Chain A
Amino acid sequence: DSGVTQTPKHLITATGQRVTLRCSPRSGDLSVYWYQQSLDQGLQFLIQYYNGEERAKGNILERFSAQQFPDLHSELNLSSLELGDSALYFCASSPSGSSYEQYFGPGTRLTVT
C-alpha cells in the first residue's frame, strides 16, 4: 500500500457524460500527478499539480481538467467522454515538486460504453 488513495475503484458511464476522479496523496506529499494507462497508448503522463498550482502538462486532452485543493487532494474531471477514454487512471504523489520517486495509487478503472 503506497498511501495514495483513489476513488472510485471502478466507474462505468456512457459516451458524452462527465465524471470526476478523486485522489488523496500520501500524508505530507505536495505534488500530485495524473496518468492514463490504456492498451493503445500505454502509460501517459497527463498533468501535475504542486501545492495547489499546476506545474506541468503532458498529453492531457482539452476535455479533461484537474485541480488540487487546499487540503492537497486532487480531482481529475473528464467530460464529453468517448469510448477511447476507457482506461486505468492513476494518481501518484511525491514529497516535493521533483519527481524523485512517485508513489502510485491503486487506480480508477473507467469504462465508457
Chain B
Amino acid sequence: ELKVEQNPLFLSMQEGKNYTIYCNYSTTSDRLYWYRQDPGKSLESLFVLLSNGAVKQEGRLMASLDTKARLSTLHITAAVHDLSATYFCAVDERGGGADGLTFGKGTHLIIQP
C-alpha cells in the first residue's frame, strides 16, 4: 500500500522566516504534486514534479524532488501571512494516472506577523 507522509503536520512560524516541509513516499513513482488548500476551499495546484532532481519555484515557494530518496521538499522563503494555508503533497503511484492521487495528511501552516 502506497504511503505518503508529511512532516510537520502543524507549523506555526513568524513572517520573514524560512522553513521546509518534508514529504516522504513509499512508491517508486517519479511524479509528485504539491497542492495548497485554504480553509473550506478547494485544492490549488502549486507544483508538479515529474523527474528526479526536478526543482520548481514560484514566488516564495520552492519544491524539489529526489526520487532515489523518495523525498520531496517544499521550502518557504521569507514567509508572509498570505502563505498561511494547508499544504498537501500527493503521489501518483503508477505514474500514469491509473490510480488517482494518494495524498499526505497535509501540513497546516500558520504564519504570524
Contact = CB atoms under 8 A, between A and B. Distances in A.
Instruction: Pick from B42, B102, B105 the residue with the most CB of A within 10 Å.
Output: B42
A104 B35 CA distance: 10
A103 B100 contact: no
Nearest to B91: A99
B102 A98 contact: no
Q: Chain B interface: which size bin?
A: 20 to 34
B98 A56 contact: yes
A8 to B, nearest CB: 15
Interface in B63-113: 88, 90, 92, 96-106
A2 interface: yes
B23 interface: no
A57 B48 CA distance: 22
A44 B105 CA distance: 10
Contacts of A48: 97, 99-100
A105 B92 contact: no
A74 B88 CA distance: 25
B45 A101 contact: yes
Interface of A: 2, 31, 33, 35, 42-48, 55-56, 58, 90, 92, 94, 96-107
7 contacts: A33-B101, A43-B103, A47-B100, A55-B98, A100-B48, A101-B45, A106-B41
